[in-house]
Chains A and B, each alone.
Chain A
Amino acid sequence: MSIVRYVFLSMFLILPLQLPLHSGQTRHAYFMQLPDNWEINGQLPTQAFLVSLQGLANDGAPRLYFCYPKNWPYGYTKNLKEYYEKTYGFDFKELLRPEDALHTFRDHVKGYVVWDPAVRTSLTVAFTVAGLGRAVVVSPDQIPMAEHEGLQKVEDFRGKFQGKSDYEIYTWAFTQYWHRCSHEFLTYMGGVAGNSMQPGIADLGIYHRSFFTDLSCDPKDTIEYALADKIMGQMKPMTSFVLGWHSYAKDLEAMYITLISKHVLRQEGLNTWPNMSFTTQLSLTPGFKFKNHHNIVPGQKYVPEKKVYIACVQTDGLGLGAWLDPDRGTFPYTWETTDGNSLIHAPALFEYFYTTATPNDYFIGALSGPSYMYPRAIPAEYLPKVIAMNRDLMKSLDLRIYGIMERSHFGDRYVGNTNLPKGIVDAYYEGLPEAIGFIFGYGPGHTYEVRNHAPFLSYDYYLSAERPAEDAIADLKELAVMNPKRPYYLVMHVRETSGINRVSGILKQLGPEFEVVPLDILMKMAGEDPTFKTRYLEEGLQ
């Protein structure tokens, strides 16, 4: 074969694989509007069926997308659908009924698994079976629908788990299925408990053939904790992912993230993260480069005045909270790219946020690791490797400031001491030499340092969504009294459910001594003229 012919053939073979989905051709896909009910004796059977079908339908190509109800934690599903239409050329056709959806995607389904509405955990196990058996998840009432399409029963959990504890059920499921599941993905089907479940991320777990669970990560729940620890212990550190979220009925977020960090796994999403089996298959548009809205002009001097400089950072990552708030962009606001893994799993999602960012939206790296980790829980030999991963993500996403959070001793914004010892601060400075600053905490922190003009600041105020505005204004003014040196650098962590308009209203009433600035400008000034006291976690304190 001549070289010319070889190159020509190679191009012919390779190009279609590399062609982005948005090269002018129309891509056909389907969408459905999901109802706003997630109760076992309500619409959960329908939702569970549809989400399981989505995980199967999207195997190999993005084909089925859901618009979630208005109050869903990730409020962007309608906007993202429009973005995919415009940017990726999707033409979505609406499906109205579950049976229509099953009929449309019948060829992607091999069977069905029946869960037992009397035992909630049977649904979690059914999701594992769905991934392994390419089966849709059905309640007993939905069996006729599945059989109408000629599907065969893969597994039937009716009555199987009656009277059994979660530990017994998951131990059985572990013995039965774990060896066949992907060990790169584990899905935590937690979140709300009791009569409800919100399995928004189940499609991705099924797509990846993962094991599903909501085992307790509370060390006091000794047997459930031991099994969770055992499962995570069989996953490869650094490169394996835990999808979903912990159960609000069993343990604390801090316990869940601590166990994940101990095994150096990478947490993804909440249990409600929607449409990820669809989004994960969309690449970046050709030539797209992540470009942050940096505010520091090279060569310009930033000399702080005798003022209180305040910068706002939204909590809890992109996609949650105020991104779609109509007032976004009216003043400088910082956003945490907590789902850093998404650069691998959902680059299109990151492109959406960067594309729709205003000049007042500034992105920072987060949170402790490539997604959400606690550095004190990460084994010491892994911490530099995790930070090196952060460095790569920061380069790719054009980030210069990094956010760190620590609760591995189960303190939070109410109790305990969540600060960092010097050794961990050292590790971040050494591992992220290009960083112009670090921000620490969730609730207010108390770890401060500055090296080579790069400050390590803590959040000095946490603005909850419930705090009355007049109290918040008084709190901020009181902080300015208690920190009398000027300049005073005040970084405020704003709960994602606080509206931007509310935050703006608070800032406007702080008086002329306060000045709202972008976070990178605040960091620059704090690095040049630090007025904070260096502090670390004191020895002997947890």
Chain B
Amino acid sequence: MKGQIAFVSIAAPLFCLLLLSCGRDSNRLYGHWKLLPGKSVSIDPWADLVLDIHGDGTHVTIVKRYSGGNTHDRRVDSMTVNTEGNEEIVPIPPGRWLGEVSMGIYYGPETKRHVLARMSDSNNEMHIDTRETLETAQGETDVEVKETYALVSDGSTVQLSENRSTRRSGPPLTYTFTRATQ
């Protein structure tokens, strides 16, 4: 009996870890994704956008890598947030706003991003709601962004749709990514 208890006490956590690990691997949103420009809204002046999504079941790290005409023109937007519906505050380095670098909008020295992230039960959809205060020519403005990362059924494509409180016209901000190797 003592031996059985010992076995269970060791095996159970291992089983849970295995489940978690399987869960991690089974989230098919995780991976390395490359933008398909022909199926996305323009990202001009950037030439490329690469998306990395990784997580451990409770937290997710989203990295967007923008690149332009030469090796110096690189920007990385990275954040790690929990996906259990608790708001987190993520600091952002100062510089031009990545929403559209051709607009005179800046992240100030104190800019923070308030983030609420949720993963769907099926792990095929992730919702990220953010609020941030940005610097403009006239002062500051609050912007709310709702992003949905949705895995397309074949598992090889992710569609990102973005809804920005300040963007009230123009083509829908939708981006299509295809799975890529690192």
Contacts and interface: CB of A to CB of B under 8 A. Distances in A.
A381 B87 CA distance: 52
B95 interface: yes
Contact of B136 (A410, A413, A445, A482): A482
Given A446-B135, A461-B103, A482-B136, A474 B95 contact: no
A87 interface: no
Nearest to B67: A414
Contacts of A414: 45-46, 66, 68, 73-75, 96, 101
Nearest to A255: B72
A288 B103 CA distance: 41
Contacts of B109: 538, 540-541
- The B interface, classified by DSSP as helix, strand, loop or mixed, is loop
B75 A478 contact: no
B137 interface: yes
Given A417-B95, A466-B44, A477 B169 contact: yes
A272 to B, nearest CB: 19
B166 interface: yes
Nearest to B95: A417
Contacts of B168: 477-478, 481
A414 B96 CA distance: 7
A460 B104 contact: yes
Interface residues of A, number: 45
B21 interface: no
Contact of A459 (B44, B75, B95, B104): B104
Nearest to A411: B95
Contacts of B60: none
B122 interface: no
A277 interface: no
Given A458-B137, A538-B109, A412 B166 contact: no
Interface string B132-167: 001111110101000000000000000000001011
Interface in B77-109: 94-96, 100-106, 108-109
A416 interface: yes
A464 interface: yes
Give the size category of B's interface with A.
Answer: 35 or more
Contacts of A413: 45, 96, 101-102
Given A458-B137, A461-B102, 12 more contacts: A415-B75, A415-B96, A443-B102, A459-B104, A473-B170, A474-B167, A474-B170, A478-B103, A482-B103, A483-B137, A488-B137, A535-B135
A443 B100 CA distance: 11
B42 interface: yes
29 contacts: A413-B96, A414-B68, A414-B74, A414-B75, A414-B96, A414-B101, A415-B73, A444-B101, A444-B102, A446-B135, A458-B104, A461-B103, A462-B102, A464-B45, A467-B102, A468-B42, A473-B169, A474-B170, A478-B169, A479-B103, A479-B105, A482-B134, A482-B136, A483-B136, A484-B138, A484-B141, A485-B138, A533-B137, A540-B109
A445 B170 CA distance: 24
Given A414-B46, A483-B138, A475 B41 contact: no
A32 interface: no
A448 interface: yes
Contacts of B105: 444, 479, 482
Interface string A514-536: 00000000000000000111010
B182 interface: no
Contacts of B38: none
B42 A467 contact: yes
Contacts of B170: 470-471, 473-475, 477-478
B175 to A, nearest CB: 13
Contact of B171 (A458, A470, A488): A470
B73 A460 contact: no
B134 A252 contact: no
Contact of A475 (B75, B103, B136): B103
What 7 pairs across the A-B complex have the smallest Cβ distances?
A: A474-B170, A444-B104, A460-B104, A414-B73, A483-B138, A462-B102, A482-B141
Contacts of B72: 252, 410, 412, 415
Contacts of B74: 414-415
B70 interface: yes
Contacts of B73: 412, 414-415
A474 B42 CA distance: 12
Q: Most chain-B CB neighbours within 10 Å: which of A413, A471, A477, A484?
A: A471
B103 A460 contact: yes
Contacts of A312: none
Given A412-B73, A444-B104, A464 B171 contact: no
B102 A448 contact: no
Interface in A396-440: 410, 412-417
A463 interface: yes
Interface string A71-91: 000000000000000000000
Contacts of A443: 96, 101-102
B172 to A, nearest CB: 10
B103 A467 contact: no
A123 to B, nearest CB: 25
Nearest to B71: A252
Q: Most chain-B CB neighbours within 10 Å: which of A417, A466, A478, A489?
A: A478
A474 B171 contact: yes
A540 B108 CA distance: 12
A193 to B, nearest CB: 13
A29 B150 CA distance: 68
Given A446-B104, A481-B168, A531-B138, A471 B44 contact: yes
Contact of A478 (B46, B139, B166): B166
A509 to B, nearest CB: 10
B169 A474 contact: yes
B138 A444 contact: no
A538 B106 CA distance: 12
Interface string A270-305: 000000000000000000000000000000000000
Contact of B94 (A458, A466, A541): A541
Q: Most chain-B CB neighbours within 10 Å: which of A410, A443, A444?
A: A444
Given A460-B104, A463-B102, A538-B109, A444 B169 contact: no
Interface string B34-76: 0000000110111000000000000000000010101011110
Contact of B137 (A412, A460, A468, A541): A460
B150 to A, nearest CB: 22
A228 to B, nearest CB: 19
Contact of B95 (A415, A470, A478): A415
